[in-house]
Amino acid sequence: MTTLQKFLGATAALALSTGAALADPALIFDLGGKFDKSFNEAAFAGAEKWKAETGGNFNEIELQSEAQREQALRRFAEAGNNPIVMTGFAFGSVLAEVAPDYPDTKFAIIDMVVDAPNVRSVVFNEHEGSYLVGMMAAMASKTGTVGFIGGMDIPLIRKFACGYVQGVKAANPDATVIQNMTGTTPAAWNDPVKGGELTKAQISQGADVVYAAAGGTGVGVLQAAADEGILSIGVDSNQNHLHPGKVLTSMMKRVDNAVYDTFMAGTDMEPGINVMGIANGGISFAVDEHNAPLLTDAMLASTYKAALDIATGEVTVHDYMSDNTCPAE
Amino acid sequence: MMDFATILQVFDSTVRLATPLLLACLAGLYSERAGIYDIGLEGKMLAAAFFSGAIAAVTGSVWLGLLAGIAASTALSGIHGLAAITFRGNQLISGVAVNFLAAGLTVVIAQDWFKQGGRTPSLIGGARFTPVKLPLADTLREVPILGPIYYELISGHTILVYLAFAMVPLTWWLLFRTRFGLRLRAVGENPAAVDTAGVSVVGNRYAAVAICGLLCGIAGAYLATALQAGFVKDMTAGRGYIALAALIFAKWRPWYALSSTLLFGFLQAIALRYQNIDLGGVVVPVQFMDALPYILTVVILAGFVGKAIPPRAGGEPYVKER
């Protein structure tokens, strides 16, 4: 550290120490934005739940560019916020750099593993949830062809796809799954027009249930599916209400629970890896008044049974990220 | 690997994907033919997409939405024109500024109005453009070959698609068969001569920029209110830049603009339909298909296939000799 940096650091610490008396937790939203109807919104809901129950206060920021990641992290840490929760795998490398500089601050990262003594890494077994909605898709499909539309082509999204295919095959071994990724750049998370076109292309190939794991692009997928009169499956948050009667179900990642738990634990939060799966309520699928007419008792029964089997370890769903291959196509 | 129905579906998708490119490409054509480079097509489309989606959501009328989109896009055109024509600023920088302005403002305003994280509520009913069924589409459907082509490919698009395609001959006629078009092209080639003839260079350039705003507005409205049901942040996703590439590929000519945007739309449609294309043992990855428009443009610019010569006075602010 140069003298200048030290000096600046000291000034910053001095300036911020006034507000540091209370250790409010902080939440950093990724580029998708706080109200993405999906991942980040779930995190926000968890924080709001904590706020409503405890009457506490939390600080938050919505990132607008990649460059702000480290800045936002350091600013919250300097300001004495504790713990600091961030949503998204993209924080991984930045957090690995920043965490050692603030050994007394607790960090929690969602969707990524960062190995540091003051970091809690929350990862989800998305493949398990995708397996369940895959089963439901196969059972709801009349054509025997279902679709998957991913956002950016990254291992995490392949994990969704792989779990989904396994679930489809479990319910109907003869079913065909058409898989598409929207793109290979972050723009793939916000291109509903392309998502809609992909959906139409899949429909023309016979798909009548489409699962979208694509952030903002998924809005276009659900829209196109509703327009064309087929079923879709939402992701992360409960998206059933977006098109009542047209969304078969939603694969829910209980990011809200993860954020809520972390905020509840406060500064005593246990570091380490925290796996959220079906077994501990971290993953589930949505059933509400919007999709109830679409679900038959037989469908629900076998899906709940599969969920139980996965929870007890009777059925294992292959995790794409464990070896970067998928046994089912 | 392709049967007739599949080919029709791919072409149908091509038309949908090419329409915003075509409108934006023609928009750029007017502007650049008049000597004003416009890198801000993307921003104008984005602003139009937002305002058309927002006003359509609030009023429930897609036509008011379209007007709002055009107004927003034309307003940004006005800013670009003010900077580039009146104040003789750098056209590229002004265009980039328009892009940034649109990318930021749309999300901020959307958040303030709708509190849904920079998106507009989903549009329903009359707040969206619905597909137009052309006359006799159902009766002719059974006619072999031509019937399905008419029913699937030509009929069943939104009114904006037909408008976009009609703009091509109209643009050709306007630019090459009217006095206005001659003057518009002249201010892009040799503004001094136009000025000597007593015709206003500034006036003509503003007119071109205004038409550019109008067309970008329709393109943006098409994205938000016809293809989709609402605005999502950054939803133009680089289409303005692809339109620019198409414009260079088209050598600044209306009919070529139609074929280049259809080609680029077709490439996108193929990439959407087939993730990896197997050509006799060689697998073409989808990324290559996505990059192909840019690669083709570079090839054209490098002079391998014909030569793309931009309007001679393009990018230069006009300064009267004293």
Question: Residue A16 sits in which domain range?
Answer: 3-125+256-276
What was the pLDDT predicted at B14?
A: 93
Residues A290 and A155 in one domain: yes
Is the reported ipTM for this assembly greater than 0.85? no
Q: Is residue A328 assigned to a domain?
A: no
Judge whether A148 and A164 are in contact, CB under 8 Å.
Answer: yes
Residues A132 and A117 in one domain: no
Task: Measure B34 CA to nearest chain A CA, in Å.
Answer: 31
Amino acid, res. A87? T
3-state secondary structure (DSSP) of residue A61: strand
Q: Is residue A294 assigned to a domain?
A: yes
Structural domains in chain A (count): 2
Say yes or no for a CB contact (<8 Å) between B229 and A223: yes
Amino acid, res. B57? A
Residues A74 and A217 in one domain: no
Say yes or no for a CB contact (<8 Å) between B237 and A196: no
Residue A17 — very low, low, confident or very high, per pLDDT cuts 50/70/90?
A: very low
Say yes or no for a CB contact (<8 Å) between A187 and B275: no
**Residue in chain A lying closest to B231 (CA):** A192
Q: What is the pTM of this model?
A: 0.83
Residues A174 and A316 in one domain: yes
Residues A116 and A264 in one domain: yes
Report the 10 Å Cβ neighbour count for B261. Answer: 31
Residues of chain B contacting residue A36, judged by C-beta atoms under 8 Å apart: 117
Return the ∠ at Cα A284 (arms to B231 and A292), rounded to 5°: 75
What was the pLDDT predicted at A4?
A: 56
Say yes or no for a CB contact (<8 Å) between A190 and B275: no
**Residue in chain A lying closest to B224 (CA):** A193
Long-range contacts of B275-278 (CB under 8 A, 24+ apart): B275/A179, B275/A180, B275/A181
Rounded alpha-carbon distances, angstroms, from residue A29 to A94, A98, B235: 14, 17, 20
Residues of chain A contacting residue B116, judged by C-beta atoms under 8 Å apart: 35, 37
* Backbone φ, ψ for residue B109 (5° rounding): -65, -40
Residue A22 — very low, low, confident or very high, per pLDDT cuts 50/70/90?
A: low
Residues A12 and A107 in one domain: yes
Q: What is the largest CA-CA distance in chain A?
A: 70
Q: Is residue A99 assigned to a domain?
A: yes
pLDDT in 10s for each residue of chain B, 322 residues: 467 888 888 899 999 999 999 999 999 999 999 999 999 999 999 999 999 999 999 999 999 999 999 999 999 999 999 999 999 999 999 999 999 999 999 988 988 888 777 788 888 888 889 888 888 777 777 788 788 888 878 888 999 999 999 999 999 999 999 999 999 999 999 999 999 999 999 999 999 999 999 999 999 999 999 988 889 888 888 899 999 999 988 989 999 999 999 999 998 888 888 776 777 777 778 778 778 888 887 887 777 666 778 888 888 888 877 5
Sorted by where each begins, the domain ranges of chain B are 4-239
| The dihedral formed by the CA atoms of A187, A189, A192 and A196, expressed in degrees to the nearest 10 | 110
Would you state the structure tokens that stand for residue B36, as one six-digit string? Answer: 């004003």
Q: How far is the C-alpha of A298 from the C-alpha of A306, rounded, in Å?
A: 12
Judge whether B99 and B45 are in contact, CB under 8 Å.
Answer: no
Say yes or no for a CB contact (<8 Å) between A194 and B234: no
Residues A63 and A154 in one domain: no
Judge whether B296 and B249 are in contact, CB under 8 Å.
Answer: yes
Q: Is the pLDDT of residue A14 over 60?
A: no
| Residue from B14, B228, B268 to probe the interface with A (highest A Cβ count within 10 Å) | B228
Residues A183 and A238 in one domain: yes
3-state secondary structure (DSSP) of residue B233: coil
Q: Is residue A85 assigned to a domain?
A: yes
Residues A38 and A116 in one domain: yes
Judge whether A111 and A125 are in contact, CB under 8 Å.
Answer: no
Residue B305: DSSP 8-state: S
What was the pLDDT predicted at A3?
A: 55
Q: What is the largest CA-CA distance in chain B?
A: 70
Residues A155 and A299 in one domain: yes
CATH number of the domain that residue A319 is part of: 3.40.50.2300
What was the pLDDT predicted at A8?
A: 52
Residue A311 CB-half CA count within 13 A: 14
Terminal Cα distance for chain B, rounded: 67
Which residues lie closer than 8 Å to A260 by C-beta, 6 or more apart? A46, A47, A49, A50
Residue B121: DSSP 8-state: P
Q: Which residues of A touch B (CB under 8 A)?
A: 33-37, 40-41, 179-181, 183-184, 187, 190-194, 196-198, 200-201, 204, 216, 219-220, 223, 227, 242
| Residue from B128, B272, B274, B289 to probe the interface with A (highest A Cβ count within 10 Å) | B272
* Average pLDDT of span A47-60: 92
Q: Is the pLDDT of residue A15 over 50?
A: no
Q: Is the pLDDT of residue A306 over 60?
A: yes
Q: Is the pLDDT of residue A42 over 60?
A: yes
Task: Measure B321 CA to nearest chain A CA, in Å.
Answer: 45
Task: Measure A180 CA to nearest chain B CA, in Å.
Answer: 7
Q: Is residue A329 assigned to a domain?
A: no
Residue B157: DSSP 8-state: B
* Backbone φ, ψ for residue B248 (5° rounding): -65, -40
Residues of chain A contacting residue B272, judged by C-beta atoms under 8 Å apart: 180, 194, 197-198, 201
| Residue from B50, B232, B239, B274 to probe the interface with A (highest A Cβ count within 10 Å) | B232
Nearest Cβ partner for A34 among B17, B117, B269? B117
List, for residues A245-286, the tens digit of each pLDDT value: 999 999 999 999 999 999 998 888 889 999 999 988 889 999
B278 vs A303, more confident:
A303
